[in-house]
């Protein structure tokens, strides 16, 4: 009985070791192929969730000091690119806005009716261009943003 328990423990530890090594090799290949920004190495299955901890905003601010304002976090099996400064977000949204169009719609957005007409989930077309023009002319002017702040 003791021999079976010891053998089982060795098999479990060996399989955990193999999973860690395979996961790290695949994440290395994946990061090379996608040219992602730097970020903390994640553990298999849970990714960088241990690094982030309970107070997310403080953890990301601390990580930004190490990895810069643009970093990659692994949340489980999903790679997430995080922009942690207002300047970086502004640059991304002004120069690369077309990459954000056509992204998957989260289930939380589909819970209410009318989500398909909202600006973040529209595909590029005449309706999207019209809404974007209205937002730029009436909502995102410096005077309106100062009033909101």
For 66-110, the pLDDT digits (tens) are 999 999 888 887 888 888 888 888 888 778 777 776 677 888 888
Clarify whether residues 52 and 7 are in a common domain: yes
pLDDT for 22: 65
Clarify whether residues 56 and 105 are in a common domain: no
Instruction: Give me the domain span that covers residue 43.
Output: 1-84
Residue with tokens 């553990």: 43
3-state helix, strand, coil in the chain (%, to 5): 65, 10, 30
pTM comes to 0.54
How far apart are the C-alpha atoms of 21 and 15, rounded to whole Å? 10
Query: How many domains does the chain fold into?
Result: 2
Q: Which residues contact 45 (CB under 8 A, 6 or more apart)?
A: 19, 23, 76, 77
| Contact predicate 37/72, CB 8 Å | yes
């Amino acid at each position: 009985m003791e021999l079976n328990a010891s053998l089982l423990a060795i098999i479990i530890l060996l399989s955990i070791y193999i999973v860690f090594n395979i996961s790290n090799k695949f994440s290395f290949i994946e990061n090379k192929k996608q040219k992602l920004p730097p970020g903390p190495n994640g553990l298999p299955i849970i990714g960088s969730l241990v690094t982030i901890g309970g107070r997310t905003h403080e953890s990301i601010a601390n990580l930004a000091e190490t990895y810069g304002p643009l970093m990659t976090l692994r949340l489980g099996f999903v790679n997430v690119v995080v922009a942690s400064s207002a300047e970086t977000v502004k640059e991304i949204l002004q120069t690369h806005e077309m990459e954000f169009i056509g992204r998957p719609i989260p289930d939380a957005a589909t819970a209410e009716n009318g989500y398909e007409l909202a600006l973040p989930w529209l595909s590029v077309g005449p309706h999207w261009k019209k809404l974007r023009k209205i937002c730029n002319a009436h909502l995102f002017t410096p005077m309106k943003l100062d009033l909101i702040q």
